[in-house]
């Protein structure tokens, strides 16, 4: 959420940010400022009425002592009228405050000055491409053919048990999935992250705190009877851990990692782009989350991106780093990188990580603050998160990258201690 004082002082910048992010409703800024002006006018009237009521109340006692009963009665009647006015104004102020906050929640974050302005994924900047794309002296197969032949994932039974997009990992497929998760968590631990195991359901306040509400409600599953949402990413419960807390400066940065399944109602389509493990409604991911002082957040963003890249380098998977443009980076982010791994069987890039700096946008919603000094006024932290990494597409790329002419998979050496086998098939 943006700071209301910032919106008042820089309305044109907020309008520009909305246009840059594809939020074609710049008139919302004018509507917000109008409501804010009405709210402030009502607050002034309320304060004046309260001050008048206090003065009149003091006069009543003095008049009574002086025996001026008639004048005292007039003041008593005025006080009664003022109390009704104060009650009405108080309700109106609360109503305007609620509306102001609701309108603020609908304004997107301001992109960092280094973010390219653009409308679609074609406007993203490829900053670096790392690793050599593999070449085969045989016809490479896409991962869905390999996993079917090797019995690694059962899509049909997953669809029978739940529905499309809910796979069942089987045998070495399940062990490989678990091995990757543990490998990612171990690397996060080595990089100074504290592992947490958060709840898989969140309440509405948590979804609103990280920006899933009111922006991404259509992408989340919902449990109406309890008012819960299955998590779309571990970012949500982990970031909300410190909602409404004041942290100590010496406690920062706070670095957490978490493995969770994730649940998303992503719109389905047909074709190779969504076949196999390319797009799931339930998928596993290791998430990295940081809480840092404001002047450290962009250094932390680069470091977090490097940590996610290090996982792809260790696995020997070619990848590229994209700086996302304003129109493709999301409602809540100030700056965002995507890491895309090369899919050798499909011959295209697959997103496996997004690493984002939200600055104070999420922290303001959740009131996560810290004290720079013991007696200093609390300030908002900056929050960051990144996938380290998302499993389905990493698994797909890994299987395609290390396939052999015989149809087997020769796993990279770094995974051998985790899988306890070197080949599949």
* Residue in 208, 264, 321, 364 annotated catalytic: 264
Residue 206 to residue 243: CA distance in whole angstroms? 8
Closest CA to 204 of 191, 188, 190, 220: 220
Closest CA to 368 of 382, 387, 357: 382
* Residue in 297, 309, 393, 400 annotated catalytic: 393
Helix then strand then coil, % of the chain, to nearest 5: 50, 20, 30
Residue 289 to residue 193: CA distance in whole angstroms? 9
Closest CA to 114 of 298, 304, 381, 332: 298
Instruction: For residue 265, indicate whether it is catalytic.
Output: no
Closest CA to 301 of 335, 270, 250: 335
Q: Is 271 left (phi over 0), alpha (psi -120 to 50) or beta?
A: left
Instruction: For residue 351, indicate whether it is catalytic.
Output: yes
* Residue in 279, 364, 365, 369 annotated catalytic: 279
Count the neighbouring beta carbons within 10 Å of the beta carbon of residue 227. 12
Instruction: For residue 34, indicate whether it is catalytic.
Output: no
On whether the CB atoms of residues 239 and 362 are closer than 8 A, the answer is yes
Residue 291 to residue 359: CA distance in whole angstroms? 10
Residue 413 to residue 395: CA distance in whole angstroms? 15
* Residue in 354, 356, 359, 400 annotated catalytic: 354
Q: Which residues are catalytic?
A: 264, 279, 351, 354, 393
């Amino acid at each position: 959420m943006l700071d209301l004082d910032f919106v008042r002082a820089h309305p044109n910048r907020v309008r520009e940010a909305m246009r840059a992010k594809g939020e074609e409703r710049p008139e919302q800024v004018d509507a917000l400022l109008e409501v804010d002006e009405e709210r402030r006018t009502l607050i002034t009237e309320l304060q004046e009425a309260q001050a008048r009521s206090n003065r009149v109340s003091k006069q009543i006692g003095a008049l009574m002592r002086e025996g001026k009963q008639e004048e005292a009665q007039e003041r008593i009647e005025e006080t009664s009228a003022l109390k009704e006015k104060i009650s009405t104004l108080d309700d109106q102020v609360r109503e305007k405050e609620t509306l102001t906050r609701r309108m603020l929640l609908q304004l997107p974050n301001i992109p960092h000055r280094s973010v390219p302005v653009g409308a679609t994924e074609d406007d993203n900047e490829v900053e670096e491409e790392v690793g050599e794309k593999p070449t085969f002296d045989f016809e490479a197969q896409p991962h869905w053919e390999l996993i079917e032949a090797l019995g690694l994932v059962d899509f049909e039974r997953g669809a029978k048990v739940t529905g499309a997009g809910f796979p069942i990992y089987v045998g070495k497929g399940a062990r490989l999935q678990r091995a990757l998760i543990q490998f990612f968590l171990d690397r996060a631990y080595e990089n100074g992250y504290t592992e947490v195991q958060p709840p898989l359901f969140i309440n509405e306040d948590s979804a609103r705190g990280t920006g899933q509400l009111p922006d991404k409600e259509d992408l989340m599953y919902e449990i109406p009877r309890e008012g819960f949402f299955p998590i779309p990413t571990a970012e949500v419960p982990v970031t909300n851990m410190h909602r409404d807390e004041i942290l100590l400066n010496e406690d920062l940065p706070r670095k957490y990692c978490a493995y969770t399944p994730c649940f998303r109602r992503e719109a389905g389509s047909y074709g190779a782009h969504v076949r196999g493990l390319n797009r799931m409604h339930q998928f596993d991911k290791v998430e990295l989350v940081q809480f840092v002082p404001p002047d450290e957040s962009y250094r932390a963003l680069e470091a977090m991106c490097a940590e996610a890249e290090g996982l792809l380098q260790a696995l020997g998977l070619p990848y590229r780093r994209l700086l996302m443009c304003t129109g493709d980076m999301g409602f809540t982010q100030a700056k965002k990188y995507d890491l895309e791994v090369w899919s050798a069987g499909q011959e295209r890039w697959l997103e496996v990580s997004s690493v984002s700096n939200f600055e104070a946008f999420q922290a303001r919603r959740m009131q996560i603050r810290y004290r720079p000094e013991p007696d200093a006024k609390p300030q908002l932290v900056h929050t960051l998160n990144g996938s380290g990494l998302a499993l389905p597409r990493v698994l797909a790329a890994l299987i395609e990258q290390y396939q052999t002419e015989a149809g087997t998979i020769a796993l990279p050496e770094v995974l051998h201690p985790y899988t306890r086998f070197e080949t599949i098939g």
